[in-house]
Chains A and B, each alone.
Chain A
Amino acid sequence: MQINGTFTAKATSQRSRAALLIGEPGQSSDQLLLAIEGQDQVEPVSISKVSAMMAGADWRITLTGRGVFTLSAALLPDELTPFLPTPEKTSRFIGLAERLGWRGMTVILSLIIMSLAGARLALPYAADHVSRYVPQSWGKNIGNSTLNQLDSLLLEPSQLSTSERRRIDRLFSEIISKLPPDAPHIELLYRRSPTIGPNALALAGNHIILLDAMVEFAGNEDVLVGILAHEVGHITNRHAMRMITRSAILAVGLGLVFGIEDSFVEEIGTLGSSLILASYTRAFELEADQVSTQLMQQLGRDPASLISLFDKLASDCAPHCDKGGFFASHPSFRERRNQINAAAKE
């Protein structure tokens, strides 16, 4: 058999028409011969390396000590198999996968979608598991660093009176007293912000920041207890650290899958990841509402006061601000109301 191709002498650009000969008359069966145009004799050769299969590419067959035999063919002739170095089964399998028809590619695309869906489902569990191994000191550092940044950029010292703070501290101690003994130590900090509006924040370092505007907005003690208990719920459920771990794993995963391509594809991936992360924060908010409802009941407070807070927030913002949904970081007030009602009934 004559396998036609070209021969390039080792480390040169000197190329000639050539053929690999197998089982020609007068040739022993274990012999691979190279015939080069312009030479009188054929010569025995051995193959030291064959390039991996690749669509459209020539096969690059390295002949020990001689140079490279190049062959244009979709597949290597079977007759050449006994002369090949140990075949790399993986690269052959991948080469064949890349030659699949459209039906095969539909299977590949389906497998990709299934893998992505599987990763999407597994991510919260895997990330939460990983977050359990993150030392508490790391959480403290992240929380302290966030607090420092907030203090330098957005927050100012609170202007609440000492008596007002004492009153809130007392309410906060009541909430803490209902937590299990192994609960983390939580610190309540008072700040004001000219830009954020009425809000309270729970940080990774087990700090709760209560803004002056929130105290004013809450109006009565039950609402204030509900807000503080909600933030306590974020801390006891380690929402901040779980969120950090989830977003880190998601970012690394997306970087690996889409990072091999153009940067704007990565942007699309980032948009997708922010939608996923938004769904996590919505779930965390509902979880914190649940903790808040339970704590309020234990303290003999009325969980319905939280609902009145949502009504007040809803009436204060634009008519369409309570949509919740796919892009929102918080669930809709209606969803939160329903959950609190259900939890209170239990």
Chain B
Amino acid sequence: MNEPSNTPSTDVKNPFLHDATAPQYDDGGYQFQRFERLIFTGTAAAYFKIYFVNILLILVTLGIWVPWARVRQRRYFYSNTRILGDGLDYLATGFDLLKGWLLALAVIVTFYVIPFFPIEILFFQEALSFGLVLAYPWALNKSLQFNARNLVWRDVRFTWHGTYWGVFWSMFAAPLLGLLSLGIFMPMASRIMRHYIAEHYSFGSKQFEISSSIAEFYRVGGQTFLLLMAGGLLTLGPVFLVSFGALDFISRATGSIEIHNNPQVISMVSGIFLSLITVIVLFVVVTTYYRAGTRNLMINGLRLDKTILFRSEISGFRLALIVLQNMFVSVASLTLLLPWARVRYYRYLTENTFIRPNSDMAQFIDDERDAGHSVGDAISETAGLEISL
């Protein structure tokens, strides 16, 4: 690397001095007080290559490449997400993640290997499991912190300010209570979670704020419930009738009819599978519809620095259709088309999100806080927990 020379450079002219007609850069790229769409510039073809190069490297390095693969995957999606013309970027390195992965691996190996040791500690495995459950909020909180500090727009990073008990309540206990109440408190739990996420992120030194009413969340909850009822009556009713008929027929015919060659039985057994698939489809549609609705409420209520607004125009039905098509295509292609599916899903979410900038998008300052460690990130990844703004 060449060090900057101390030679005076007064002889070299600044080329921009002569370009009087050039607009001030931040003035020309977008219009203030108007919603601008976020753009995703990634393509399935490019991600296809990243995905398969990652798999090959994971195989030949016997798994050591996993943290680097994760970084490249995240970086591809973030850096191709353009906000007001500038891409986000993910700054963590494979080495940063490796430390966390090694510790997470040690925890998991300990968990699985302990029962093999000839030690007689009563309920040791159960205690360890309980300890892991208690560790999840900690891991998720640290993961959000680590990933936020490694996410940058221009040269300002995001920060996550959540706490263990905040994450425990908003992302674990409240949704659990929502489920235990058979969904009656679920909109309230969703609002608690969405508000907690939004209010605990900051961009540089500016904190995000959110306003939404509980009634809006109950409206989305009510719509989802009606969708569940309507979908259930229209699809599950007839399919279940066929399936129960099939089960009854089979139970009567036990042993006396050769099932394998009987077209009537085959068609009825198919009915059982059909009902199973219908339940899965209905579940995906209903949960995706609800998630899209509550996401819209969160993004639409979000504010940064009082005047920067956001908008989300996700259609629950469209998103559900994308999720279902993606599942089908990925399974049918034995995961070969998974990169295409992921890009399609991400593009839909990104390009239906908008930002209304204020007149001073250059004002943000990063307060340079430490990114922390990646242990929580690795554990929450292992546990399949992933939450982001």
| A119–B58 CA distance with the chains assembled, in angstroms | 12
| A36–B50 CA distance with the chains assembled, in angstroms | 35
A38 interface contact, C-beta 8 A? yes
Chain B interface extent, by class: 35 or more
Shortest C-beta distance, B5 to chain A (Å), equals 4
Shortest C-beta distance, B333 to chain A (Å), equals 10
Which chain A residue lies CB-closest to B93? A52
Q: Are B116 and A268 in contact (CB under 8 A)?
A: no
| A191–B53 CA distance with the chains assembled, in angstroms | 53
> Residues of B contacting A45 with CB < 8 Å?
4
Q: Are A94 and B57 in contact (CB under 8 A)?
A: yes
B364-387 residues with Cβ-Cβ distance < 8 A to A are 364-366, 368, 382, 384
Shortest C-beta distance, A325 to chain B (Å), equals 14
| A72–B176 CA distance with the chains assembled, in angstroms | 46
Excluding A15-B25, A52-B72, A83-B1, 10 further A-B contacts by CB distance (< 8 Å) are A8-B154, A13-B364, A15-B362, A27-B12, A37-B16, A38-B24, A86-B1, A137-B118, A140-B118, A257-B55
Which candidate, A104-112, A151-159, A168-176, is the interface stretch facing chain B?
Answer: A104-112
9 A-B pairs with CB atoms under 8 Å apart are A12-B155, A30-B5, A31-B9, A37-B16, A51-B89, A56-B76, A67-B155, A112-B52, A263-B384
> Residues of A contacting B42 with CB < 8 Å?
55-56
> Residues of A contacting B69 with CB < 8 Å?
260
Q: Are B80 and A57 in contact (CB under 8 A)?
A: yes
B315 interface contact, C-beta 8 A? no
Shortest C-beta distance, B69 to chain A (Å), equals 6
Which candidate, B59-67, B213-221, B266-274, is the interface stretch facing chain A?
Answer: B59-67
Shortest C-beta distance, A49 to chain B (Å), equals 10
User: Could you mark each residue 77-116 of chain A with 1 if its beta carbon is under 8 Å from any beta carbon of chain B, else 0?
Assistant: 0000011111000000010011110000100110110011
Q: Are A12 and B331 in contact (CB under 8 A)?
A: no
> Residues of A contacting B10 with CB < 8 Å?
41
A46 interface contact, C-beta 8 A? yes
Q: Are B15 and A35 in contact (CB under 8 A)?
A: yes
A334 interface contact, C-beta 8 A? no
A196 interface contact, C-beta 8 A? no
Q: Are B364 and A12 in contact (CB under 8 A)?
A: yes
B1-46 residues with Cβ-Cβ distance < 8 A to A are 1-7, 9-17, 19, 22, 24-26, 41-43, 46
B303-335 residues with Cβ-Cβ distance < 8 A to A are 327, 330-331, 334-335
> Residues of A contacting B361 with CB < 8 Å?
13
> Residues of B contacting A259 with CB < 8 Å?
66, 382
Please give the residue numbers on chain A whose beta carbons come within 8 Å of chain B beta carbons, in ascending order.
2, 6, 8-19, 21, 24-28, 30-33, 35-47, 51-52, 54-58, 60, 64, 67-68, 70, 82-86, 94, 97-100, 105, 108-109, 111-112, 115-116, 119, 134, 137-138, 140-142, 145, 248, 252-253, 256-265, 268, 318-320
> Residues of A contacting B362 with CB < 8 Å?
12-15
The residue from B12, B53, B258 contacting A33, defined by CB atoms under 8 A apart: B12
Q: A46-B4, A100-B49 are in contact. Are A15 and B154 (CB under 8 A)?
A: yes
B139 interface contact, C-beta 8 A? no
Q: Are A319 and B258 in contact (CB under 8 A)?
A: yes
Q: A56-B41, A145-B115, A264-B330 are in contact. Are A32 and B2 (CB under 8 A)?
A: yes
> Residues of A contacting B330 with CB < 8 Å?
262, 264-265, 268
B70 interface contact, C-beta 8 A? yes
B54 interface contact, C-beta 8 A? yes
B187 interface contact, C-beta 8 A? no
B147-186 residues with Cβ-Cβ distance < 8 A to A are 153-156
The residue from A47, A99, A138 contacting B116, defined by CB atoms under 8 A apart: A138
The residue from A18, A58, A111 contacting B79, defined by CB atoms under 8 A apart: A58
User: Could you mark each residue 60-90 of chain B with 1 if its beta carbon is under 8 Å from any beta carbon of chain A, else 0?
Assistant: 1001001001101101100110000011010
Q: Are A112 and B7 in contact (CB under 8 A)?
A: no
> Residues of B contacting A16 with CB < 8 Å?
25-26
Q: Are B55 and A319 in contact (CB under 8 A)?
A: no
Shortest C-beta distance, A78 to chain B (Å), equals 15
Q: Are B55 and A13 in contact (CB under 8 A)?
A: no
